[in-house]
Copies of this chain bind each other. A is one copy, B any other.
Amino acid sequence: MYEEKLIIPRPTIVDRQFTKPLLCGPGPCDIWPSVAEALSKPVLSPLCDELFDVMDDIRAGLQYVFQTKSKLVLAISGSGHSGMETVISNIVGPNETILICCRGIWDDRALEMSKRYGIKTKVHRILFNNTFSLTLIEGILKILRPKALFITHGDSSTGSVQKLEGLGKLCHKYGALLLVDTVVSLASEPFFMDEWGVDGVYSSTQKGLSGPAGISPIAFSERAQEVIKKRNFKPPFYFDIELLAAQWNCFGNTRQYHHTLSPPLLWALRSCLKEVINETLPKVWARHAETTAHFHKRIEQLSLELLIPKPEDRLVTVTTVVLPKGYDYMEFVKYMRNKHNILIFPGLGPTVGKALRIGIMGVNSTIQVADAIADAMADTLIALKKSSL
């Protein structure tokens, strides 16, 4: 009876054939076989004990990967950016001050997000291929006394890793909370939330954890919990960590409905965490360090330059590589995909036109993958030299 009322006819959705590329951009990377399997586990309802068990497993696994005893640990239903919104909007309120350490595009996003909440923003910007000096930061904290400091641990737009040891202590000395983005560093670079005095941290699943995007691990310290309890503002409902904590039963005896969780993503994240737990964090960190050291050696053998000058500033998950003069970054990326079916990325934000961004992480962090990329790059260098120089 409704046929004649349809103003939009049925569209045609065609199945297209393609061969999955090897994902070696700054993320997403490929997923563990166990995670692919986990994605097809039964959908469960938010009222099932079975789903509560999965959530409890995830919280225990996240306490391990973040290395924190804090109970306020859970996963946000959204991408890494939703973790960023959650960390900022729960800690800093309108007219309060956040100090943002800017070296890549994620910091600029944190800046943009903060402004939208009416937060007063102060920026400490450095050159994109550098990392921050704690001494300099201390000088700024002393003067500004912000409510919080935001910093990115691993920066996938530049390929650098920021030393965090000692920063929490500094922040606390001047009354600030330390908020950290670990989207591209968690389960790849060593990270110690409690020891380093990190107060709010979020990550994503499609990088070191080798899972699908869409669910974002997050944790707040006890210090942050105190601040949250006393705050006189409210974050958006979707990101309210107090309501989320009640849904995730963080403090015991609450399974209060907040929103409908995605069972496939919960199963997948649980499976990612099992992979890390089985391998152990120190071995995961060592594997990433080894693979990337090997890759960097191969890059140097190709006479290519790494964008980040100091070896200790180089991120183990994402490598930024400078091409010789005359090469076009987009063309290079396209050739790698078309000829070798390897997906790498061009620069983003401060590195546009300055570097390739090559990610080797999670299940892909092996000597074989590193060699496959380096071999393909060697071929691409020759092929594009002939055609374009």
Chain A interface (Cβ within 8 Å of chain B)? 1-3, 5-11, 13, 16, 18, 20-21, 23, 25, 27-28, 30-31, 36-37, 39-40, 42-48, 50, 53, 57, 60-61, 63-64, 67-69, 77-82, 85, 89, 109, 112-113, 116-117, 190, 192, 194-195, 204, 206, 212-215, 234-239, 257-265, 268, 270, 273-274, 277, 280-282, 285, 343, 345, 348
Name the prevailing secondary structure of the A interface residues.
loop
State which of B206, B238, B270 has its C-beta within 8 Å of the C-beta of A13: B270
Q: Does A263 lie within 8 Å of B212, measured CB to CB?
A: yes
What are 14 of the A-B contact pairs (CB < 8 Å)?
A5-B192, A6-B282, A7-B69, A8-B64, A10-B64, A20-B44, A23-B44, A82-B82, A109-B237, A112-B237, A116-B236, A212-B264, A214-B215, A265-B265
Distance A20 CA – B43 CA, assembled complex (angstroms)? 8
Q: Does B67 lie within 8 Å of A43, measured CB to CB?
A: no
Q: How many copies does the complex hold?
A: 2
A9 neighbours in B (Cβ, 8 Å): 64
Q: Does B195 lie within 8 Å of A7, measured CB to CB?
A: yes
How close is A118's CB to chain B, nearest CB, in angstroms? Answer: 9
- Besides A85-B236, A206-B260, 17 more A-B contacts (Cβ < 8 Å) are A5-B192, A5-B195, A6-B281, A7-B192, A10-B64, A23-B43, A39-B264, A45-B345, A48-B343, A78-B78, A78-B238, A81-B260, A113-B238, A213-B262, A236-B239, A264-B264, A264-B268
Q: Does A61 lie within 8 Å of B13, measured CB to CB?
A: yes
Given contacts A13-B274, A236-B236, contact A260 B64 (CB under 8 A): no
Given contacts A5-B195, A116-B237, A192-B5, contact A263 B28 (CB under 8 A): yes
A80 neighbours in B (Cβ, 8 Å): 259-260
Q: Does A265 lie within 8 Å of B13, measured CB to CB?
A: no
Q: Does A16 lie within 8 Å of B50, measured CB to CB?
A: yes
Distance A351 CA – B239 CA, assembled complex (angstroms)? 26
A213 neighbours in B (Cβ, 8 Å): 77, 260-263
Q: Does A214 lie within 8 Å of B264, measured CB to CB?
A: yes
How close is A120's CB to chain B, nearest CB, in angstroms? Answer: 16
Q: Does B116 lie within 8 Å of A234, measured CB to CB?
A: yes
Q: Does B116 lie within 8 Å of A235, measured CB to CB?
A: yes
CB-based closest 5 A-B pairs: A214-B262, A20-B42, A11-B60, A81-B259, A79-B259
State which of B1, B190, B236, B285 has its C-beta within 8 Å of the C-beta of A282: B1
Distance A57 CA – B13 CA, assembled complex (angstroms)? 6
Distance A77 CA – B239 CA, assembled complex (angstroms)? 13
Distance A277 CA – B37 CA, assembled complex (angstroms)? 28
The chain B residue sitting closest to A273, CB to CB, is B13
A46 neighbours in B (Cβ, 8 Å): 28
A194 neighbours in B (Cβ, 8 Å): 7
The chain B residue sitting closest to A14, CB to CB, is B57
Q: Does A61 lie within 8 Å of B11, measured CB to CB?
A: yes
Q: Does A260 lie within 8 Å of B85, measured CB to CB?
A: no
